Every structure is written in C-alpha cells, then in structure tokens.
Amino acid sequence: MTVPVDIPPTMQINAWNPEGDNRGALAPIGRFAARRQVMSEQLRRFKRVLAPPVPVPLEDWRHPEVGWGLVLPDDDSIPVQARARGDDAPEPLRRLLAARPGSPVLRWSPHLQQLALRRYYDDGTAQDLLIATPTYGVARGCIPHYLLIYAAPSVIPWSVQYALNLALCVGRLDLAVNEGLDNYVDALLSDWAGAKSDVHAPLIWSTDHGSDDITWLMARAIANPLMEKYRADPDLAQVVHLKAAQASGVNLLTELTARRPGLVVTTSHGMTGPLSDAAALTAQLGLLVDADHQPVPLAQMKEWAPEGALWYAHACCAAGSDEASRYVDLLDVSGGAGRIVRDVAAHAGARIAPLPRMLLGQPAPLRAFVGHVEPTFDWTLRQPESGQVTTRALVDALYTQLYNQAVRTPVGWALRELYRQSGAFYGAWQEARGAVDRDEAGARERSLYRQLVAMDLQTLVVLGDPTVALPPL
C-alpha cells in the first residue's frame, strides 16, 4: 500500500540572500523528469568512460595480464631467437611451453645480480626487466607473475629466487630427464589426473623434544593450530596428527602409504650432520629427524607414491642449502648453531635437498614441496620479548588459502603474505640500523631480530611449479 505524501510547494536552503526570499519553488514535475533522464544518461556515459577496469585476480595465472613464464640460465652461445623460444630447454619443458602458449622464456646471468631478468624477443631485441617493480603479464616488456626457475641453485642462485619471492610467485625445478623431469611435467600438464591422494585427509607430523627445544614451539605455533583448523572443518574430518612420541619415521611412512594424504605438514629438526663427514652430511641433508632423533631414511620414503600431494616441511635445510650461509655473520661460529650454518654451507654448497628432489621426480610425483633453505629460527615463530606467537600468516596459507573453495589457490599465491611480511621486516630493520648508529639502548637487539626474521621468511621456497593447487574439496 502506498501512502500519499503531501509535499510543500517550496523548500528552504541554509543560504542567506539579503536582497530577496530564501525560499525556492519546486520545479515542474515534467522538467524534473527530463533533467533526471539527462542525468541518468550522463551517469551511464561516465561509468563507461571513467570507471577503471575490474582488476584481474592474480590467482588466475592463465590470464595474459598475470601469466606464467620459464626462467633459464642465459647462454651467449645460443642465438637470440632460440633463447626467446627456449630451444635449449629439455624436451619436457618445451612441451610445457607449447601447452601454455604465449608464455615467455626469461633469462638470468650473474651480471644481472638480483636486479633484473633478461627477456629476448623473436625480432632479435632484448630487455632487462626489473624484478622489484615488475609489470605483470606475458606481453612485451612484462614479467609473468608466476615463474618456474629451471636450474640448480649453483647456476641460478637461491638469492635470485629470494629476491623474486618478494614481488612474484616463484618455484624451482632441478631435475634432469633421467631423474624424473618427464614424470613431473606429464603430471603437471594433466593436473595430476587420476592421482589417488585424498584432499580430505591432511596429515600432520610433529616432533616434540621438550619445552627447551624448538620442536616444542613448532608444534604449538604451527602443527597444533593447523590441527584445530582442520578438525573443525567437516571437509577435513579425516585429518591425522602424529605428534610427540607418535612422530616416528615408521609411523610417518605407514600413514603416508595407508591414507594417501593430499597435504602433508611436518615440523621437526632437519638433518645437518655429521659435520665431520661431508659426504654423509650431503647425502642426508634436510631429512626429517623423528621422535627418536633418527633421520627418516630416504630409502624408506622412496616406497611412498606421492600421487599429487603437496608437502610443507618446517625443518632446517628441508629445501636445501647454500654455498655461503646468510647467517654466518649473525651467529657465533665458534660452536652450536653458528658452526652448523658455516659447515653445512662449506660441505654441501648450493643444492636442493635430496628428499624433495626424489619426491618431485617420482612416477606419481609430488605437486610441490615448500620448505626453507638453511635453518629456521624460534624468533620467527615467537617474538622473543613478548612471547607472542607470530605464525598466523603461515597457518592461514596452509588452511584458508590452500583450501579456498571460491578459487583454487596456487601454492605460490598462498604464501604471498609471508613474503610481504619479509619485506616489512626488512624495512623495519633499516630503521633499526639507524638506531644502532645512534647508539640507542636495545637497538642492536631490535636490529638483529628484524634482520633475522626478514631473512628467515624470505628463504622459504617452493620447489615445483608455483601454479599448482590442491584439488577442490
């Protein structure tokens, strides 16, 4: 029912004109209607002309304004056009490029340092494109938002991947054809069609060697909060948590084989010894150390078929090691942690750890392995002064982002908040350095904390293609 409204013939405004009446008569209805029609047409025209386009969602790596690309080492002996096409890439990667038409090949060489990637074009020209301020996409002059580095870290250093992580979504492969590169690319091209891993059944494995050990903190800052999230989600009710004394190598392999989890999350020490035996250290670098302080043998892990699972490992050197530790100047190298980071770098050099290499090359390979190069620190998990746990972004990445049902979130995109925090800590570190120069009380400790956390977050890397995502629930 419409209630009639008695509108007065005049209205007032709060202006004052001393020369006349401050009341105004209403315009005739027909005139108002005509004006409204003109105004409506103007608004429609303004919307067409002035409104900015809807932003392209950066999760959509297939969109040409987002894009995916391959990063290879530069080689002056190869013709420019061949470098632009990636003719020197192994055959599986050439198939991948063909299946993702329009995807560019970018190049890195030592003289570019961490500043740029070089892009060659079919017309024989080239551009050095800045890493820190990229224009996203596959068009000329652009860097794709998603990049797969195909090179050993001794060829394209980890430091390049760290720099790229702050602005882009980056992964790395270092598999020869005879090490399973075919297996990985075939699975990637089919999006792991027919894979038997169960996205509804995540597996968490967390050691705990007591409250004076970092494993106690890792369990409470990462594993336990994730378990609460998964257990409260009806779609993930099949979650299993092997913790403390249950976190043995035997139990891990048993559950991996029996349950075929779609996501594996492990928190533990990573093997970095014996420091006196370089060959043995390299062979078992980063292997998970179980509840009995024993590394989970690589030979055991070969019995498991990943079947498209995604693995996050929070352990020292789980992803690999570098030729020179970034932390050697921050830690006393006369013993303890300082000696470990120095000697691991000296003995193992720049390499990918053996566990992810093996899992990514299996006949039914892993989708991606996410872990740290070098160690991780308790300071990154809990603020040392306040005791506040600081892993919200990591828990969010491993639950809210990866299991997002609105859109399949690529693993590279899921980690973006962690890299953003790294950049923020680098900025805070610069401020703290000024306070150190002014000799302010406590400035050295603040500076060290911010630098360490920034570096720790930045050295989290994706091994595998950064576009992979968990299947929808």
Q: What is the pLDDT of residues 159-202, one digit of tens each?
A: 999 999 999 999 999 999 999 999 999 999 999 999 999 999 99
CA distance 154 to 172: 13
Ranges of the chain with pLDDT below 50: 1-5, 7, 12, 16-17, 20, 22, 26, 29-34, 43
- As a residue count, the chain comes to 473
Q: DSSP letter at 136?
A: B
Q: List, in sequence order, every beta strand (DSSP E) within 21-130.
A: 23-25, 68-73, 105-108, 116-120, 126-130
Tokens 């003719």 found at: 87
The answer to whether 217 and 381 are in contact (CB under 8 A) is: yes
Other Cβ atoms within 10 Å of 108 Cβ, number: 23
CA distance 277 to 279: 6
By three-state DSSP, how is residue 461 classified?
strand
What integer pLDDT is reported at residue 141 of this predicted model? 97
* 423 token code pair: 């950049």
Model confidence pLDDT, tens digit, residues 272-326: 999 999 999 999 999 999 999 999 999 999 999 999 999 999 999 999 999 999 9
What integer pLDDT is reported at residue 113 of this predicted model? 94
What integer pLDDT is reported at residue 8 of this predicted model? 52
| Contact partners, residue 271, CB within 8 Å, separation at least 6 | 284, 285, 286, 287, 288, 289, 295, 317
What integer pLDDT is reported at residue 3 of this predicted model? 41
What integer pLDDT is reported at residue 43 of this predicted model? 47
What integer pLDDT is reported at residue 329 of this predicted model? 87
Tokens 């000024």 found at: 434
Other Cβ atoms within 10 Å of 226 Cβ, number: 24
How far is Cα of residue 68 from the mean position of the Cα atoms in its chain? Answer: 15
Burial class (CB in 10 A: 0-12, 13-18, 19+), 335: exposed
Q: What is the 3-state composition of the chain as percent helix, strand, coil, each rounded to the nearest 5?
A: 40, 15, 45
What integer pLDDT is reported at residue 4 of this predicted model? 45
Amino acid at 93: L
What integer pLDDT is reported at residue 332 of this predicted model? 85
By three-state DSSP, how is residue 266 classified?
strand
By three-state DSSP, how is residue 368 classified?
strand
What integer pLDDT is reported at residue 385 of this predicted model? 81
3-state SS of the chain?
CCCCCCCCCEEECCCCCCCCCCEEECCCHHHHHHHHHHHHHHHHHHHHHHCCCCCCCCCCCCCCCCCEEEEEECCCCCCHHHHHHCCCCCHHHHHHHHHCCCCCEEEECHHHCCCEEEEECCCCCEEEEECCCCCECCCCCCECCEEEEECCCCCCCHHHHHHHHCCCEEEEECCCHHHCHHHHHHHHHCCCCCCCCECCCCEEEECCCCCCCHHHHHHHHHHHHHHHHHHHCHHHCCCEEEEHHHCCHHHHHHHHHHHCECEEEEECEECCCCCCCHHHHHHCCCCEECCCCCECCHHHHCCCCCCCCEEEEECCCCCEECCCCCCCCCCCCCCHHHHHHHHHHHHHCCEECHHHHHHHCCCCCCCEEEEEECCCCHHHHECCCCCCECCHHHHHHHHHHCCCCCCCCCHHHHCHHHHHHHHHHHHHHHHHHHHHHCCCCCHHHHHHHHHHHHHHHHCEEEEECCCCCCCCC
How far is Cα of residue 121 from the mean position of the Cα atoms in its chain? Answer: 29
Of all helices (H) and strands (E), which one includes residue 289? Answer: strand 288-289
**Beta-bridge partners for 120:** 126
How far is Cα of residue 126 from the mean position of the Cα atoms in its chain? Answer: 29
CA distance 374 to 89: 29
What integer pLDDT is reported at residue 430 of this predicted model? 87
Of 250, 210, 209, 244, nearest in space to 224 by CA = 244
Tokens 């209805």 found at: 29
What integer pLDDT is reported at residue 230 of this predicted model? 97
390 phi and psi angles, rounded to 5 deg: -125, 40
CA distance 427 to 450: 9
HSE value, Cβ hemisphere, 13 Å, CA-based, for 255? 23
